[in-house]
Chains A and B, each alone.
Chain A
Amino acid sequence: MTTFGSTAALRATMDAYFRDVGAAAEQHLAPVAWCTSVGPAELLRALGFRVFFPENHAAMMGAARTANRYMPLAHAHGYSQEICSYLTSDIGAYLAGESPMQAYGLSGTPRADVLVFNTNQCRDVRDWFEWYGRRWNVPVVGMRSPRAIETVRDDDVDAIARQIEALVPALEAVAGTRLDAGRLEHAVRASRECSDLWEACLRTAARRPAPLNFFDATIHMGPAVVLRGADEAVTYYRTLLAELEGRAAARSAAVEGEAFRLYWDGMPIWGRLRALSSLFAEFRTAVVASTYCNSWIFSALDPADPVRSMARSSLELFIVRSEEAKEDYIARMLDLYHADGIVFHDCRTCPNNTNTRYGMPRRLGERLGIPTLVLDGDVNDLRCVSDEQMRTNVEGFIEQIADARPAAGSAAS
Chain B
Amino acid sequence: MIYAGVDSGSWNTKAVVIDGGARVRGTCVVRSGADLAGAAERAYDGALGAAGLGRGEVTAVWATGFGRQSVAFADGSRTELDCHGRGAAHYVPGPLTVVDIGGQDAKVIRIDAAGQRLSHRMNRKCAAGTGSFLDEIALRLGVPIEGLGALASGSAEPLELSSFCTVFAGTELLTLIRGGKRPSDLAMAAYRSLVKRIVAMDVLDGRVVATGGVIAHHPAMVALLGAELRGEIIVPPHPQEMGAFGAALAARDGAAAVGPSAGERAPLAAVEAPRHA
Contact = CB atoms under 8 A, between A and B. Distances in A.
Interface of A: 63-66, 100, 103, 271-276, 278-279, 282-284, 346, 365, 371-372, 374, 376, 383-393, 395-400, 402-404, 408-413
Contacts of B261: 413
B122 A392 contact: yes
B125 A410 contact: no
Contacts, number: 112
B275 to A, nearest CB: 6
Interface in B228-277: 254-261, 265-269, 271-272, 274-275, 277
B79 A399 contact: yes
B14 interface: no
Given A275-B272, A279-B268, A399 B66 contact: no
B268 A389 contact: no
Contacts of B258: 283-284, 395, 398-399, 402, 409-410
Contacts of B81: 392-393, 396, 399-400
Contacts of A283: 258-259
A403 B254 contact: no
A346 to B, nearest CB: 8
Contacts of A390: 268
B105 interface: yes
A65 B124 CA distance: 21
Contact of A408 (B117, B118, B121, B256): B256
B82 interface: yes
A286 to B, nearest CB: 14
B171 interface: no
B256 A412 contact: yes
A411 B258 CA distance: 9
20 contacts: A63-B275, A100-B277, A275-B272, A279-B268, A282-B265, A283-B258, A284-B258, A374-B121, A390-B268, A391-B265, A392-B79, A392-B80, A392-B122, A399-B117, A400-B120, A402-B258, A403-B116, A403-B117, A412-B257, A413-B261
B153 interface: no
B125 A385 contact: yes
Contacts of A391: 265, 268
Nearest to B273: A274
B256 A400 contact: no
B183 interface: no
B162 interface: no
A404 B112 CA distance: 11
Interface of B: 66, 76, 78-82, 105, 116-122, 124-125, 254-261, 265-269, 271-272, 274-275, 277
* Chain A interface SS verdict (over half): helix
A62 to B, nearest CB: 11
Nearest to A393: B122
A190 B105 CA distance: 51
Nearest to A365: B119
Nearest to A403: B116
A409 B256 contact: yes
B90 to A, nearest CB: 15
Nearest 3 pairs between A and B by C-beta? A64-B277, A396-B81, A412-B254
Nearest to B276: A64
Given A64-B277, A66-B277, A392-B80, 18 more contacts: A272-B268, A275-B268, A278-B271, A279-B268, A374-B121, A376-B125, A384-B125, A391-B268, A395-B79, A399-B82, A400-B81, A400-B117, A400-B120, A403-B256, A404-B116, A410-B256, A412-B257, A413-B261
Contacts of A65: 272, 277
A264 B7 CA distance: 31
A66 B272 CA distance: 13
A272 B267 CA distance: 11
A279 B256 CA distance: 17
Contacts of B122: 389, 392-393
A65 B276 CA distance: 10
A108 B130 CA distance: 45
A381 to B, nearest CB: 11
Nearest to A396: B81
Contacts of B275: 63-64, 274
Contact of B271 (A274, A388, A398, A411): A274
B119 A376 contact: no
A317 B265 CA distance: 39
A372 B259 contact: no
Contacts of A410: 256-258
Question: Which of B82, B256, B266 has most A Cβ within 10 Å?
Answer: B256
B146 to A, nearest CB: 27
B131 to A, nearest CB: 16
A173 to B, nearest CB: 38
B120 A396 contact: yes
A350 to B, nearest CB: 15
B268 A282 contact: no
Contacts of A374: 121
A73 B275 CA distance: 25
Contacts of A271: 272
B259 A402 contact: no
A244 B277 CA distance: 26
Nearest to A361: B119
A399 B260 contact: no
A403 B272 contact: no
Contact of B78 (A388, A389, A399): A399
A386 B79 CA distance: 16
Contacts of A385: 125
- Among A275, A276, A372, A387, max chain B CB count under 10 A is at A275
A105 to B, nearest CB: 15
Contact of A272 (B125, B259, B260, B272): B272
Contacts of A273: 272
